[in-house]
Amino acid sequence: MRLELVKRPQQSALFSALSPFIAFGLMVVAGGVIFLILGKDPVNGLYAYFIEPLTEVWSLHELAIKAAPLILIAVGLSVCFLSSNWNIGAEGQFTIGAIAGSAIPLYFPQFQNGAVLPMMLICGAIGGAAWAAIPAILKARFNTNEILTSLMLVYVAQLILDWLVRGPWRDPAAMSFPQAPAFHSWAIVPELMPMSGRANWGIVLAIVAAVAVWFMLSRTLKGFEVKVIGQSPRAGRFGGFSTARTIVFAFLVSGALAGLAGIVEVSGAIGRLQPQISPGYGFAAIIVAFLGRLNPLGIVAAGFVLALSYLGGEAAQIGIGVTDKTVRAFQGMLLFFVLACDTLIHYRVRLVRPAPAAPPAAAPVTETAHGHG
């Protein structure tokens, strides 16, 4: 007896849309089992994890604050991943974006009016894009592996930030604390509803970016170019599209959005530059991008789900006394179930009775349907 995956001739559109929800449901069930094994009441545990954070207004604000950078970065990553450019360095682009945007209030503290914040956002986006341009150009020109170069540049960016806040940009008034001076009020991203909580316009920016990128990918020639180069580069070249141009485009979009997320985080949620500005948003956004199945609208939902798993993890740690490692466990299960659902949408499982002979030699006997592309 063995299991075999057989490609379905037609994929169900309904189940494609439902897949993340089914995955979430399965994760809740599996999470309940884990709580049970830990000796906790699963109903209480799940309530503390997934419901309680949603019952209080202030924690909904926190949810929006955490979701905003995750969505912004993941939307950009979807462009990269769809074009088969594996940008793993969003964390670094986020950091450089935060630095570049912060330079304006730090170098021109007297310059205080309504133009400051837009300029900071633009500088943040340019900074992130410039950082992403390095692995892009290296790949387009020398065919280097972008996974390695983009990842290594994360550590360079973090060290630059560390040096700045301990050195030239350190706040003289902060005793010897390694942090830059707090931003003046024109340099702060305004809060959405200051009466009820901290959430700022970052989440609005994230949703606007998601809709814009969704439109670009699904309705324009540029989006078609990104997808065709990602799936079938030779066919893309036949269509008159340039692989090098697409590499640079995808990295610039992705870097700009990560940089934007960086400056929004620093000038919104934190209010100043400091050595630690991200709990790993740039890496978590990779999970968000795949949970959202590389569709920017799906990514909005996925961003909130991942933000909830951070919040719920904190709440469950305090409320029912489970370790903060459960956050990772839940995030891992979610990813697992989404990938499993997607696989079952494309394939069905078939039980095969034992064959007497050994499995066939792969290369010579299978006629692949995909040519050599």
Partner 1 sequence: MAGGETLLDVRGLTKVFGTLKACDGVDLDIARGEIHALLGENGAGKSTLVKMLFGSLEPNAGEIRWNGEPVRITSPSEARRLGIGMVFQHFSLFEALTAAENIALSLDAKTPISTIAAKAQALSYSYGLPLDPYALVGDLSVGERQRIEIIRCLLQTPQLVILDEPTSVLTPQEADKLFETLERLRGEGKSILYISHRLEEVKRMCDRATVLRHGKVVGHCDPRQETAASLARMMVGTEVHAVVRSVDEGAGTADVLLRVDHLNRAPATPFSIPLRDISLDVRAGEVIGIAGVAGNGQGEFFEAVSGEVLQDRAEAVSIRGKPAGRDGISGRRRMGAAFVPEERLGHGAAPAMKLSENLLLSRHATDPGVYVGAFGIVRGAAISAAAKRINQMMDVRKSAEDPPANALSGGNLQKFIIGRELDRQPSVMVVNQPTWGVDAGAAARIRQSLIELARSGSAVLVISQDLDELFEISDKIAVMHNGELSKPMPRAEATYEKVGLLMGGAEPGHVHHHDPAEMA
Contacts to partner 1 by CB under 8 A: 9-10, 219-222, 224, 227-228, 231-232, 234-240, 242, 352, 355-361, 363-367, 369-373
CB closer to partner 1 out of 71 and 248: 248
CB within 8 A of 354, min separation 6: which ones? 1, 2
CB closer to partner 1 out of 29 and 212: 212
CB of 9 to partner 1, least distance (A): 4
In 3D space, the residue among 370, 359, 342, 337 whose CA is nearest the CA of residue 30 turns out to be: 337
Residues 71, 72, 77, 82, CA torsion sign: positive
Q: Which long-range contacts (CB under 8 A, 24 or more apart) does 162-165 make?
A: 162/275, 164/99, 164/273, 165/273, 165/274, 165/275
CB of 140 to partner 1, least distance (A): 16
CB closer to partner 1 out of 112 and 220: 220
Rg over alpha carbons for the chain, rounded to the nearest Å, is 23
CB closer to partner 1 out of 143 and 370: 370
CB of 217 to partner 1, least distance (A): 11
Please state, in angstroms and as integers, the Cα–Cα distance from residue 361 to each residue in 4, 271, 356, 365, following that order.
16, 61, 15, 7
CB of 223 to partner 1, least distance (A): 8
CB of 5 to partner 1, least distance (A): 14
CB of 76 to partner 1, least distance (A): 19
Residue 35 is given by DSSP the state: H
Element (H, E) at 7: strand 2-7
CB of 294 to partner 1, least distance (A): 14
DSSP per residue, 16-29 = HHHHHHHHHHHHHH
CB closer to partner 1 out of 62 and 225: 225
CB closer to partner 1 out of 328 and 348: 348
Residue 208 is given by DSSP the state: H
Element (H, E) at 350: strand 347-352
CB closer to partner 1 out of 173 and 357: 357
Both tokens of 36, joined, read 């049970």
